[in-house]
Structure formats: structure tokens, C-alpha cells
């Protein structure tokens, strides 16, 4: 991001998440070049959710999305998002969003929306015991829309990781009071898994090429992306140059707001990369 002040950074983020309506459930967007030669996967997910949400009326809210990254999106080139209205019922609405660029399919995502209901027999995982509060950790504000406070991984007695990545995050300045915008920013944040998906080399940057294959996200409660949120990540399995990682995100009050699961392709690069230093400085 090119903006310098926190407020300007957020203005740039909000503008980047605006889609141009082209009629007949079709939208267009030109992604900024914040991440180099390819658009960050979390931004691609956010665009799909934004497009799907534009075809759904109140009182529906997003509760899940599932999709595949088929080709990378390039920044600075217009992409088209076409929404298919798969189903509308009294409780749920389903949309499929196909994103193309220069005539080639880049992603296909299915987004589901629901009407909030009174719950029964409610249950959730809790915040990990002994978790340091964000104001007790060093806060990093690298270039981009988020600031973070890293709590570090946690090991199990057998040497595996209970958590292969733990950090607090929030936007660098307040966002507008738009629940759909906050959901899209949370979708963007959910893909910031750092190096948690490769625990054997999480302390090195550039040791592997990696690319997301698919992404699944469940929204359990509405939440603001401009308040501290704790992201707890767990590497599940690495095999055959594929890695699976899952995550849970909580508010400071301990409410579980979303869950994520993702598979990536990872391939080692000759040379072994370089030390990460502070992981938070990379995002």
C-alpha cells in the first residue's frame, strides 16, 4: 500500500474493496499491486464475498464460503466477477462467484448467507489458557492495513505444535460501520497464515514456494475487523508437497467469530531462504 497515515491506508483499503456493477449480477474490479506480481489470495476471497453479498438483501448475513484458487490474479488488470444465484430460501441464500481475468477462470467460490436464529445447546472452543493480551506484546505495524502482536507458536510434549502460529491483529484505523465490509476484511485477514502451515521451516522466509489451493471459511458471529482479534493457527499435515492448516479467530472477550481451513501446495527452494526474524514484520 502506498498511503502513509493509518486513515489514508484504510481509505485505500475500502476503495480497493469497491466493485463496479456491470449489470446482471456481474461486477468488475482492478486489484492494486500491493503484493507484487499476483494478488494476495485473501483479497481474492474478499472480492468474491463482496460480489455475492451485493446480490443478497437483509436480513441475510454471510456464514460460510468455500472455493478454489485455479489461477493467480494479476494486479492492474481488470477482473470480472459473475454471480450465480444458486438458491434462496427462508433461512439460507447460496451464491457461486466465478472470477475471470482476460477470459481465464481464476477462482470459483460458493458463498452462503443465513438469517440469524435463536440458538440452542450452544458451545464453542475457548481462548487458549495463558494467552498474553495484545497490549502486553510488542505491536508491529508493517506496510498494509493491519497491525499485529505476535504471541508465538506453542509446542506439545511430543514435539508437535498445539499452535503453529498465534497473533493478535486489527486494522490500523477504524473502518466504516458496514457489516459486509467488516466480513470482507475478515476474509482478507483469514488468509494471512504466515508460515504456520510449514512448521518444519516456519522460522525461514523464502525457503519454499507456496500457493493456496483452496480456502474454506465459516463466520460464527459478526465482528469488527478494527478491534483486536486473536488468530490461532494449527498445521494439520504436510505431505507430498501439500500442507493443510486450520485456524480459529476470537475477540478479546473470548467470542469465537470464525474458523478457517486451507490447503496449499509448497515446494522447497534451493538455498533454504532467510531467517524470518519477527514474523509480524512480514505482513
Q: Which residues are within 8 A (CB) of 94 and not within 5 positions of it... i.e. 6 or more apart?
A: 86, 87, 88, 110, 111, 112, 113
Joined grid coordinates for residue 175: 473502518
d(CA 162, CA 141): 26
d(CA 146, CA 6): 9
The pLDDT value recorded for residue 69 is: 97
d(CA 253, CA 169): 14
pLDDT digits (tens, 9 = 90+) for 18-73: 999 999 999 999 999 988 899 999 999 999 999 999 999 999 999 999 999 999 99
Q: How far is CA 141 from CA 138, 219, 262, in A?
A: 10, 26, 26
The pLDDT value recorded for residue 230 is: 98
Query: Over the chain, what is the mean pLDDT?
Result: 91
pTM, two decimals, is: 0.93
The pLDDT value recorded for residue 278 is: 54
Q: In this predicted structure, which of 61-75, 127-141, 197-211, 227-241 has the lowest mean pLDDT?
A: 197-211
Please, what is the angle between helix 41-53 and helix 179-190, to 10°? 150
Q: In this predicted structure, which of 54-63, 100-109, 135-144 has the lowest mean pLDDT?
A: 135-144
Percent of all residues in the chain with a pLDDT value above 70, rounded to a whole number = 94
Joined grid coordinates for residue 3: 498511503
Read off the pLDDT of each residue in 153-167 and give the average, rounded to a whole number. 91
Q: Is the pLDDT of residue 216 over 90?
A: yes
Amino acid at each position: 500500500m502506498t498511503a502513509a497515515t493509518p486513515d489514508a491506508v484504510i481509505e485505500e483499503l475500502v476503495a480497493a474493496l469497491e466493485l463496479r456493477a456491470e449489470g446482471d449480477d456481474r461486477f468488475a474490479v482492478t486489484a492494486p499491486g500491493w503484493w507484487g506480481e499476483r494478488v494476495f489470495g485473501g483479497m481474492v476471497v474478499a472480492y468474491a464475498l463482496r460480489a455475492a453479498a451485493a446480490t443478497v438483501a437483509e436480513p441475510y448475513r454471510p456464514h460460510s464460503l468455500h472455493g478454489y484458487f485455479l489461477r493467480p490474479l494479476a494486479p492492474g488488470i481488470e477482473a470480472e466477477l459473475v454471480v450465480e444465484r444458486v438458491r434462496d430460501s427462508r433461512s439460507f441464500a447460496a451464491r457461486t462467484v466465478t472470477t475471470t481475468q482476460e477470459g481465464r477462470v481464476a477462482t470459483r467460490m460458493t458463498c452462503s448467507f443465513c438469517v440469524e436464529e435463536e440458538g440452542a445447546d450452544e458451545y464453542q472452543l475457548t481462548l487458549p489458557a495463558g494467552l498474553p493480551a495484545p497490549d502486553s506484546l510488542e505491536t508491529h505495524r508493517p506496510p498494509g492495513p493491519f497491525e499485529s502482536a505476535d504471541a508465538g507458536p506453542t509446542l506439545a510434549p511430543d514435539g508437535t505444535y498445539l499452535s503453529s502460529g498465534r497473533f493478535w491483529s486489527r486494522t490500523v484505523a477504524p473502518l466504516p460501520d458496514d457489516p459486509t465490509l467488516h466480513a470482507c476484511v475478515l476474509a482478507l485477514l483469514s488468509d494471512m497464515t504466515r508460515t504456520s502451515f510449514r512448521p518444519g521451516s516456519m522460522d525461514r522466509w523464502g525457503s519454499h514456494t507456496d500457493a493456496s489451493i483452496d480456502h474454506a471459511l465459516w463466520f460464527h458471529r459478526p465482528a469488527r475487523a478494527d478491534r483486536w482479534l486473536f488468530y490461532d493457527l494449527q498445521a494439520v499435515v504436510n505431505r507430498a508437497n501439500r500442507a493443510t492448516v486450520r485456524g480459529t479467530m476470537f475477540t478479546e472477550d473470548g467470542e469465537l467469530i470464525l474458523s478457517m481451513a486451507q490447503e496449499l501446495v509448497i515446494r522447497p527452494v534451493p538455498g533454504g531462504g532467510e531467517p524470518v526474524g519477527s514474523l509480524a514484520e512480514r505482513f
